[in-house]
Each structure stands twice: as structure tokens, then as C-alpha cells.
């Protein structure tokens, strides 16, 4: 029952995000989720899989990530990301 309740909560959150957040906001939120408390993390999935999690095309997710880099909120080297402005990324994820 607890596992089922957890899955239902996750689905509710994902549905709310898809309704109330745009692709850039959903990408920011997912990157923060994947990073956890760490500022530097390796993306354990492909960008295609990340796009599937966000509910958008790979191209749109790439554009969102590129905008975060341009704004100085994250840095990227291959599949390793470093959050340089967690506050702004968090604001964008709301």
C-alpha cells in the first residue's frame, strides 16, 4: 500500500508539473531532482531519457539546458553538470 501511495504521489506531481510548468521549468526541476543536495553530478541517463522524463523533445530539453548554461546557472562537461546558481534554478523550477 505504501509503495502504491508513493507512486500515486509521484504521478500527481508529474501531472501537476506538466500542467503548470513549461519545458524549461520542468527541465530545471528534473535537474535539481537528479542532483539532490550535490552541486556537481553526472547525468546517469541520456538526454533522450531526460526528455522523456520532462515530457518534451530532446531538442527542447537541450535548448533549456543551453539557456541555463548561458545564464550561468549550470556548467556542463560531457555528462557532468555543476550547479553554479541553485537559487535561480530553483526559482525557475517553480
What is the CATH classification number for the domain harbouring 20?
Answer: 1.10.10.10
User: What secondary structure does DSSP assign to the chain, as a single string?
Assistant: -HHHHHHHHHHHHHHHHHHHS-HHHHHHHHHHHHHTT-SEEE-SS-HHHHHHHHTS-HHHHHHHHHHHHHTTSEEEETTEEEES-HHHHHHHT-
Going by pLDDT thresholds of 50, 70 and 90, the confidence category of residue 11 is low
Give the count of domains, the chain. Answer: 1
Please give the average per-residue pLDDT across 41-45, as a whole number: 88
Domain that holds residue 27: 2-92
pLDDT at 45 (0 to 100): 86
Amino acid at each position: 500500500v505504501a509503495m502504491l501511495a508513493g507512486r500515486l504521489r509521484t504521478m500527481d506531481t508529474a501531472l501537476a508539473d506538466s500542467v503548470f510548468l513549461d519545458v524549461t521549468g520542468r527541465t530545471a526541476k528534473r535537474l535539481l531532482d537528479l542532483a539532490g543536495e550535490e552541486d556537481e553530478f553526472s547525468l546517469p541517463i541520456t538526454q533522450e531519457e531526460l526528455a522523456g522524463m520532462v515530457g518534451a523533445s530532446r531538442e527542447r530539453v537541450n535548448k533549456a539546458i543551453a539557456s541555463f548554461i548561458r545564464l550561468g546557472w549550470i556548467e556542463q562537461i560531457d555528462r557532468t553538470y555543476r550547479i553554479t546558481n541553485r537559487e535561480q534554478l530553483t526559482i525557475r523550477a517553480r
